[in-house]
Structures are given as C-alpha cells and as structure tokens.
Structure 1
Amino acid sequence: MKTKNLHNILTLTTIFILLISSCHAKSSKHSVKHLRIDLRHIDSTGNFSKYELLQRMTHRSHQRMIHLTRRISNLAHIESGQELGAQTDAYLGTGEFVMDVGVGTPSLSFPGIIDTGSDLVWTQCKPCVRCFNQSTELFDPSKSSTYKQLPCKSDLCKALPASQCGKTNNSCQYAYGYADLSFTQGNLSSETMTLGSQEFKNIAFGCANNNSDGFPQSSGLVGLGRGPLSLTSQLGFKKFSHCFASLDLKKKSPMLFGSLVSINASAATASTQSTPLVQNKEFPSFYYLSLLGITVGTTKLNIPSSTFALKSDGGSGTIIDSGTTLTYLQPKAYNIVRKAFVSQTKLHVADGSTTGFDLCFKATSNTTFGVPKLILHFQGADLDLPESNYFIHDKDSGLLCSTIMPSFDSAIIGNMLQQNIFVIYDIAKNILSFAPTQCEKL
C-alpha cells in the first residue's frame, strides 16, 4: 500500500513538473520586454544603378498593387490549382525589406521578407519537393533538437485559411496561397527562433517544402499582420515600429518591438501625431487608416472623403503597407492629385514609362525642382511629407518622377512615402502614430 501511495505521489509530482515546464516553455517567448531587428532593403546587396533600382521597385510594387486591390475589390477570383488549393486573404509574395531570422537548435540564419499584409512566418525546408533558389542552405528540421510538427487540432492550425491532417502522423499540413498565384505548402511546425540577440521558443512557422518562385532574395516571409499566426501576435508584443531609411542609402532600417517602441526626440524632426487603425472584418490582417483628404501645394483638393473610405462589403479603404514601394490612390483621387502637380510644377512633363512611373518631369541635376507640398489628412493627424518621399530624381535619365500612382480601388500607403518616418503600430490601443525622424540615427 505504501509503495502504491509513493508511486502515486511520484507520478503526480512528475506531472506537476512537466506542466510547469510546459507552461514555462510556452510563456518564455513573452518574457522578453523588448526587441530590435535591423532590416535591409531587398536590393541592397545587388550592384544596381539607380535607374535599375527604380525599374525593379516599380515593377514589384505595381504587381503587388494589382493583386492586392483585385483581391479586396473582388475583381478577380484566382484558383491556385494546388492540391490544398484555397486562396488566402494574403497577397503578393514579394516585398522590399528583409530581416534575418535564426531558426532551430543550433540556430541557422535565414533572410525573410517582412510583410505587414500577411500572417504566416515560413522558410524553405528539407526535404524539398519544389524550392526556389536562396542564398543560404535550406533548413533541415532533422538537425534541430527543438523542431516539432504541430497537430492538426491545434488552434494555430485552425487559424490557417487552408490545412489538412497528415495521413500518418496527424500533423498540420498547410497551404498558403498569394493572389499572384505564388504559394507555399508544408508542415505547420514550432521552433526556437533567434531574432536580433533574443531567443524565442515555440514559434509556429511553416516548414515549407513546396513553393513557387515568387520570393526572390529570401528564404521565405515573416508575416507581421494582425492575425494569430503573425510574428507580432506570437511574440505577444502590443507595439511594434519601423523606421525606413532613405532608399538611396544602403543603411539598415530599425524595427523595434515592445518597450523599445518610443520615438527618439534627438532624431525626430517634428512632433508625433496619431490616427486610429481601422479594422476590416473581411481582411483582418491588413492595417487600415482613415484617409480623409489631400493637399497639394497650398490647395486642399476637392476629393470627397468617401473616396478613401472602407466600404461595408470590405472593399476599397486605405492600407498602410511595408511591402509596397509606391503609394497608390483610387483613380478619381489620383487624377485630381496628378492634375494639381502638373499645374503647380514649373517643369516640363516627360515620358517616364520605361521606369514604370506615370508622372515624370524633365529635371537635370542642376535644376531647382520647386515641387509643391504634399499633405495627407488622416483622422486626427496630418502627414506633411518631404519632397524626396513622393518624388524621386534620377540624374542619369534626367527624370523627376512621382512615386504616387493610380490603383484599381483601394489606396495603399507605400514604404517610400514612409521614408524617414518613425511609424508605431499600437495594436492594444488600435492606433498608428508617426513622427518624421532621421532613421539612420536610431
């Protein structure tokens, strides 16, 4: 009898210790109060001329806009044609900024494109059925002591837009499609990830072994959207921020999480303003803003605020996005803005179609541009932009081109318009704050 009681006590003690260990493992990723990650531009390692950079950025940006706005506006319903085929609320699988993510134990570093427009974190894995070329070796889960496949009954598996149970081990097999027909498929798993100098346990990610070719100069994506699978949601930080350095520079751009998210007064060049983040139930991962109007020069343009508003069916609206380079406006709004720039700029209009831009002026290196001011009016905040954020000059071609373009339906605030602006996403309070800042000083 005593032996049986002792056995029961030992069993209960063991279970208790395991429960404590399990809770600690699950909560350890939340124990870090802050995090800094330095981003780099996706073309920073290439030997491109400025003209080539413009072409590459505008091409990626335009393709991203097409598929995003078509998806939101239901202008196109594209079937992926894959075995698990289901199109997600995510969109084009390319972006402009990359972070290095350490995966596994021992940790191996992989470059992942950051994307505020999707949720899933994933990297290419062995064994690979179909993989695109990447600069680093593929992640091999068999060589990591902390790799685990998640069961198909897990909450995060259920959060996927398309998944199925493995035939032999009941694991969660995912399919994540993007609106340009790029896709990733594999096993939803958990791993220890190293971000900056910090280690986080039990981060769910896609161990991808069947992928399209739409993710150049990376090994996968880092979703920063509002859904439960995103990196921000899993880390448990209620705030994150980024400050994109000028795209003319090859300097790194800081991304901050948690208690580090505060605007450096010595680097800021103007006061901080805030505007509400708007949620779209149809597309919950995106960060929407209330854009109310636009000023060019000294003239508040005659554009009804309803032009930029989110519709009851989830269409239109205004999104702030890390992965789109250019800024896009609804056609009616864009035509009015374009006309205002043409009438107020004392330069000759030029053909910039070879670069992909719609509005360009002839401008030699010695020209004083005299471009009119651009102010975006949001609910509770006015974003007064420097000229370099909405016009870009290429000395070789002698073109000065607007980085604002027409979309199909939705407005997209791209990352070039966000240059040298410290942007804070306060998820807990549902607020976006910003202040003009010299990002390279952070």
Structure 2
Amino acid sequence: MRQDKPSLVELFRQDQARVDYIHRRTSNATARLNPIGDSLFARVPATINYDISRYSHIVNIGLGIPTKFFSFTFDTGSDLTWTQCVPCVNCYNQTNKINDPTQSFTFTNIPCNSYYCTQLHQFDCSSTYTCLYEQEYADNSKTNGSLIKDSLTLSNDIVYDFVFGCGHDNTGIFGHVDGILGLGRGPLSIINQKPHLYNKIFSYCLPSRPDTIGYLELGSSVLGVRYTPMLTKPEMPSYYFLNLIDISIGGERLGLPPTIFSEPGTMLDSGTAFSYLPPSVYSILRNIFRNYMRNYTMAPPIYNLDTCYDISNYPMVFVPEMSFIYDGEVMTNLDSTGILFVFNKSQACFPFIQNEDDSEVVVIGSMQHLTYSVVYDVGNSQIGFGANGCS
C-alpha cells in the first residue's frame, strides 16, 4: 500500500497531536521504568531527506545477519524501536525493501510472558504463545506486529539480541521511513536494553538543511558541551525534562519568573518540530519579534503558526537573535531556522506555538535545538549542549 505524501496541514496536526498527548500524559499517565542491568561506541550520520520525511532526521541502521540496512527516524519521546516486516498485512510505501526477519540467522521470537513483552503498554499472545504488540502514537498513527529479537548494527558495532517491533500492520503518517528508533528512558529503549554497552549516554546533532550532515552517537560524551540537570516527571518517566529559566531575544532577556517554565515542566523532544510555550510567554515573545520584523510584509498564518511573513521581495532577511537559557546559565543560540522557518518565499513563520494555558507542559521541539550537539547523559542525569555540532 502506497502512502501519499502528507499535506502541510497533516504535518501540523501530527505535531499538535503529539503535544496534546504529552499534555494529557502529565495529567493521568502511569508508566514503568525497570531497566536491565566493555562499553562500545557507535556514531552514524543523521541527515534530512525530504523524499523520506519532511521534518524527521534520518539514520541508517542494520538489522539481522546477513545485515540489511534501513532508514530510521530517531525519537527521544519513544521507547519502542520498530520497522515494517513481512508478512505485510497493511504497510505504507517505505524507502527500502521491507524487512524479512526470517532471512536472518540471529532472529528469534519472544514469548508473551517475557520481561520485555510485559513492559509494553499493549501486548497480547499469538496462537503460538509469541509476543504481539500494538503501539499507537499521538496522531493516531499505529503499528501492530510481533516483538522479536535480532542483531542491530550501528556503525561498526553489532548489538546482539536487540528487542524491537516487527510491524505487520502499520497505518498513519510515517512519511517513507522504514521505522523508528526509540531513544526514550523506558525499558524497551536501546539506552536501557543495553546499558552495559553504551553507558546510558547518547548524543545527536540535527542538521538544519539537507546539504549538511549531523550525527547520532551512542556510548560517548561530546567535548565542549555545558550541562544542565536532567529532570524526571513521575507521571512521564520515559521523557526528558530540563529546567528552562528564560528566553532572550535581540540580546535582551524576557526576565519572566522561572516558575512560568518550571511549574508545568519543560520537555526536550526530538519528535516534535515546533516549540510550545505558555501563552503568557508566547504573547510577549511574539510581540517583540513582530516589532523587530515590522518592516517585512505579513502573510496569512499557517495552521497554528500565527506570525508569518511574505519575504519573496526581500533578497536578505534579518531576524533577531534568540537564545534559550537553561538551569546553570546554559545558553543555546537558536539557528535561524528555529527563529523563522521558511515554508516558501511567500510564507516564512515564527516557529513557536502557544499552549492552551500556562499549566501545560512546555515542549522544546527539534527546530529549537538544530545544529547543537545535544548530550543525554542518562546515567548522570544531565543534558548537555554544545554549539556547532553538525558538519
């Protein structure tokens, strides 16, 4: 089954649905965190490929022996890694040939009473007592299939007995990726499945353009980063929280009380494109930004981005500098794409969205940490940022 390229509105709805789901989880979520207990080092390039997915960052990962490579998007807000597999009841059109795990010498099924099976939010038993999973995402995209074990190849590392989903029935907006690599903090994440291999640490740099290359790295820190504490919300233990204390625009801090961010909590999420701010913060930030951009022609809003400009008649566009400041005075200067995102020359928008109210979780999306090396040191409960991380 071929999946048509999603419309721009569908992509916005997907982003909004993910954040709505995050907000719901902070109110009523329950989750388990029970990781299992010669470090390796693995680094793979991360790229943007508009033919695969408009807003995702892609890494190539090998599965099985003999190894076949697949294009995955990685997601810090997901624990389960999965790829489409044959037999294919309902599959979308992906980049590479669909995985057939039975061709791998290292493939095994997992019984439905096993530890990893019971850690799934939704699982069942097949007629042969193997583990079946269902993973539903915030935008109602869904994958169903078998939970299996096989070899995973990252760069020159081969990770044996890696547990992941083999999706036989997959519907929704996945672009044309072959699967998702889960980098959350839950037990099914590669970080907690193999803590002895990668020391519960990973980092990445998300490139801002298709002509630059970023990376995903497991098992090693990065030089030149500054760390801020990694926080945990008990109702959302798989997600990465940190303490945003202020925002600077045009060299001036907003100077708002830090509790405006700390009381609802601030999440760093690679799977959300835009950043979602408290209304009281967003209105001030937007007004300052509009004042800086007053000489440019405004354009109609795009979905829930309400500050857009027609820049088709301007050979050069100047935007104010912006920075996020985290606990410990760790400052990240936003890439220009994270300040004004150009959908086309007639619509370039301020890529921030306001939450419904100030009590909802603040989400820092991928556009607002582009080009930085971001280090998730789970073992030491800290998140690091280093400038100029992408080549």
Q: Same fold (TM over 0.5)?
A: yes
Within the candidate set 203, 207, 225, 1:241 is matched to 203
Q: Which residue of 1 aligns with 2:185?
A: 226
Q: What secondary structure sits across from 2:340 in the alignment?
A: strand
Q: Which residue of 2 aligns with 1:411?
A: 362
- Please tell me whether the aligned partners of residues 275 and 378 of structure 1 are also in contact (alpha carbons under 8 angstroms): yes
Q: Give the whole-Å Cα distance in 2 for the aligned partners of 1:181 and 1:368.
A: 38
What's the RMSD between the two structures over aligned residues?
3.0
Within 5 Å, which residues of 2 pair with 1:18-97?
56=8, 60=11, 62-74=12-24, 96-97=56-57
Within 5 Å, which residues of 2 pair with 1:272-283?
272-283=225-236
- Please tell me whether the aligned partners of residues 65 and 407 of structure 1 are also in contact (alpha carbons under 8 angstroms): no
Q: What secondary structure sits across from 1:285 in the alignment?
A: strand
Q: Structure 2: where are the runs of 5+ without partners? A: 33-52
More helix by share: 1
Q: Which residue of 1 aligns with 2:61?
A: 101
- Please tell me whether the aligned partners of residues 349 and 359 of structure 1 are also in contact (alpha carbons under 8 angstroms): no
Q: Structure 1: where are the runs of 5+ without partners? A: 1-47, 78-86, 264-270, 311-315
| 1:217 lines up with 2:186 in the alignment | no
Change (3 A) 1:306 1:188: same
> How much does 1:88 deviate?
9.0
Q: Give the whole-Å Cα distance in 1 for the aligned partners of 2:25 and 2:61.
A: 36
- Between 1:422-431 and 1:135-144, the stretch displaced more is 135-144
- Please tell me whether the aligned partners of residues 205 and 371 of structure 2 are also in contact (alpha carbons under 8 angstroms): yes
Within the candidate set 359, 362, 379, 2:327 is matched to 379
- Please tell me whether the aligned partners of residues 25 and 236 of structure 2 are also in contact (alpha carbons under 8 angstroms): no
CA deviation vs aligned residue, 1:7-33 (integer Å, no higher than 9, x gap): xxxxxxxxxxxxxxxxxxxxxxxxxxx
> How much does 1:114 deviate?
0.8
Q: Give the whole-Å Cα distance in 2 for the aligned partners of 1:251 and 1:345.
A: 28
User: What is the identity, as a one-letter code, of the residue corresponding to 2:13?
Assistant: Q
Count of residue pairs the alignment pairs up: 359
| 1:433 lines up with 2:384 in the alignment | yes
| 1:284 lines up with 2:232 in the alignment | no
User: What is the identity, as a one-letter code, of the residue corresponding to 1:425?
Assistant: Y
Q: Which residue of 2 aligns with 1:420?
A: 371
TM-score scaled to structure 1, two decimals? 0.74
- Please tell me whether the aligned partners of residues 19 and 363 of structure 2 are also in contact (alpha carbons under 8 angstroms): no
Q: Which residue of 1 aligns with 2:217?
A: 256
Q: What secondary structure sits across from 1:423 in the alignment?
A: strand
- Please tell me whether the aligned partners of residues 347 and 362 of structure 1 are also in contact (alpha carbons under 8 angstroms): no
- Please tell me whether the aligned partners of residues 121 and 206 of structure 1 are also in contact (alpha carbons under 8 angstroms): yes
Q: What secondary structure sits across from 1:136 in the alignment?
A: coil
CA deviation vs aligned residue, 1:48-87 (integer Å, no higher than 9, x gap): 9xxx9xx85x853x3344223322333999xxxxxxxxx9
- Please tell me whether the aligned partners of residues 365 and 398 of structure 1 are also in contact (alpha carbons under 8 angstroms): no
Q: Give the whole-Å Cα distance in 2 for the aligned partners of 1:186 and 1:162.
A: 11
Q: What secondary structure sits across from 1:286 in the alignment?
A: strand
TM-score scaled to structure 2, two decimals? 0.83
Q: Give the whole-Å Cα distance in 2 for the aligned partners of 1:394 and 1:433.
A: 28
Q: Which residue of 2 aligns with 1:40?
A: none
Q: Give the whole-Å Cα distance in 1 for the aligned partners of 2:185 and 2:363.
A: 17
Q: Percent same amino acid at aligned positions?
A: 30
CA deviation vs aligned residue, 1:76-108 (integer Å, no higher than 9, x gap): 99xxxxxxxxx999xxx9961121221112211
> How much does 1:226 deviate?
0.5
> How much does 1:398 deviate?
5.4
Q: Which residue of 1 aligns with 2:350?
A: 402
> How much does 1:324 deviate?
2.0
Q: Which residue of 2 aligns with 1:366?
A: 315
Within 5 Å, which residues of 2 pair with 1:79-228?
96-167=56-127, 169-228=128-187
